[in-house]
Amino acid sequence: MAFPIPEHEIHRRRFSRNLGVGLALVSFVALVFALTVVKVTQGDMGHANDAPGMLGSTVPIAPEEPAPAPASPAVQP
């Protein structure tokens, strides 16, 4: 597939802008992907793991033991 040849200065500028933005977006996606691969392989997932509810989270979703029931006012002196 070939790109249409821009016929006017305005079209050339518009084409260069669209191409530039497209390449920038593709590069950004590639960079995020590479960064993710590096972070996962290095085990450096500190940010994600710190979020409650994530696997391997250091923050408990719910307390392990049920909280003790409050003492009944009747048995208090």
Partner 1 sequence: MTDIRSFEGPKEAGFGDFVQLLKPRVMSLVVFTAMVGLLVAPVGLHPVVGFTAILFIALGAGASGALNMWWDADIDAMMRRTKGRPVPAGMVQPGEALAIGVALSGISVVMLALATNLLAAGLLAFTIFFYAVVYSMWLKRSTPQNIVIGGAAGAFPPMIGWVAVTGSLSVEACLMFMLIFMWTPPHFWALALFMNEDYSKAGVPMLTVTHGKRVTRNHVLGYTLALIPFAIGLGFTSIGGPVYLAISVLLNAEFLRGAYKIWKRDEVIAEADKYKVEKAVFRFSLLYLFLHFGALLVEAVLHAQGLGGW
Q: Which residues bind partner 1 (CB under 8 A)?
A: 9-10, 12-14, 16-17, 19-21, 31, 34-35, 37-39, 42, 47
Least distance CB 11 / partner 1 (angstroms):
9
Whether 11 contacts 20, CB under 8 Å: no
- Which of 42, 72 has the CB closer to partner 1? 42
The token pair at 42 is 């290095």
Whether 51 contacts 57, CB under 8 Å: yes
Place of tokens 């249409």: 4
- Which of 34, 59 has the CB closer to partner 1? 34
